């Protein structure tokens, strides 16, 4: 899918939790190097083995991290929303991507060149600590998602995924095609159609032409697998003893 990014003014309030958590003396020097860009749905930011050259902090929107097989099949292992960042580990030195990173939900992202971010991290212990903490959380989330994909049925995984996405964008309206959802869940498009129709029948969502409106979060929560609470409600950070 064709997409463009547009440089925007930096005169905005930070909505990304990682950036907002940094002390002023750490964030201040980075401000001049941060750019606010608008990224469209479907834009591929990284492919497996690509060098990480920019860091992206979602202010709105969401990024999916996908494992890609030799046959071209994909399945999602993690998502990055306002609570995190893409490529954060690059602050500790040159790194390559292990997954495909795709803009799943369009939005605004604070972005910084990797070498600038590495310079900032080298000069700041709090920033290096944040990188280590978030990388550990992302790793734990990927493990939980891998278990979820292997054990839980597609319906409960879809409910978990819709709840997670809605939390990331802080809203109940999502623009997602059947094709995109099939890649996220690792199922056929026809399966996505049947699952969405069933959730619509239960009054949980309204689904039409790639647009999903969540009508009842409580209904989705009742059908979602346990991974929703483990990933979304802070259980993973508590398990590894960190707080962001």
CA proximity to 111, closest of 46, 31, 176: 31
Q: What is the pLDDT of residue 242?
A: 44
Q: What is the pLDDT of residue 40?
A: 93
Going across the sheet that includes 74-80, the strands are 44-46, 100-105, 62-68, 74-80
**Which residues of the chain fall below pLDDT 70?**
1-13, 232-244
Q: What is the pLDDT of residue 36?
A: 94
Q: What is the pLDDT of residue 240?
A: 39
Q: SS3 for the chain, per residue?
A: CCCCCEEECCCCCCCCHHHHHCCHHHHHHHHCCCEEEEECCCCEEECCCCECCEEEEECCCEEEEEEECCCCCEEEEEEECCCCCECHHHHHCCCECCCEEEEEECEEEEEEEHHHHHHHHHCCHHHHHHHHHHHHHHHHHHHHHHHHHHHCCHHHHHHHHHHHHHHHHCCCEEECCHHHHHHHHCCCHHHHHHHHHHHHHCCCEEEECCEEEECCHHHHHHHCCCHHHHHHCCHHHHHCCCCC
Q: What is the pLDDT of residue 71?
A: 84
Domains for the chain: give ranges and CATH numbers.
6-149 (2.60.120.10), 153-224 (1.10.10.10)
Please report where in the chains the tokens 């990055």 appear, as a residue.
80
Quote the distance between the C-alpha of residue 237 and its chain's center.
16
Q: What is the pLDDT of residue 210?
A: 75
Residues 108-161 have pLDDT tens digits of: 999 999 999 999 999 999 999 999 988 888 888 888 888 888 889 999 999 988
- In angstroms, the Cα distances linking 119 to 19, 90, 116, 244 are 16, 11, 5, 22
Helix axis angle for 114-122 and 24-31, nearest 10°, is 150
pTM surpassing 0.75? yes
CA–CA separation, 109 vs 46, rounded Å?
Answer: 15
């Amino acid at each position: 899918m064709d997409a463009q990014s547009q440089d925007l003014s930096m005169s905005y309030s930070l909505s990304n939790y990682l950036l907002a958590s940094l002390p002023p003396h750490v964030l201040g020097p980075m401000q001049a190097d941060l750019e606010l860009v608008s990224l469209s749905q479907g834009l591929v930011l990284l492919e497996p083995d690509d060098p990480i050259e920019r860091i992206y902090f979602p202010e709105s929107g969401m990024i999916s991290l996908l494992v890609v097989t030799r046959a071209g099949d994909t399945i999602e292992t993690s998502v990055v929303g306002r609570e995190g960042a893409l490529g954060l580990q690059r602050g500790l030195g040159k790194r390559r991507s292990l997954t495909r990173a795709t803009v799943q939900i369009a939005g605004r992202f604070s972005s910084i060149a990797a070498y600038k971010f590495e310079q900032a991290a080298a000069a700041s212990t709090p920033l290096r600590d944040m990188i280590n903490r978030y990388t550990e959380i992302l790793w734990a989330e990927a493990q939980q998602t891998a278990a979820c994909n292997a054990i839980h049925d597609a319906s409960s995984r879809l409910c978990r995924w819709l709840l997670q996405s809605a939390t990331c964008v802080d809203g109940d309206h999502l623009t997602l095609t059947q094709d995109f959802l099939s890649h996220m869940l690792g199922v056929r498009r026809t399966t996505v159609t049947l699952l969405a129709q069933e959730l619509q029948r239960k009054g949980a969502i309204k689904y039409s032409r790639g647009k999903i409106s969540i009508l009842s979060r409580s209904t989705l929560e009742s059908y979602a697998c346990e991974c929703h609470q483990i990933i979304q409600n802070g259980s993973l950070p508590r398990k590894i003893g960190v707080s962001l």
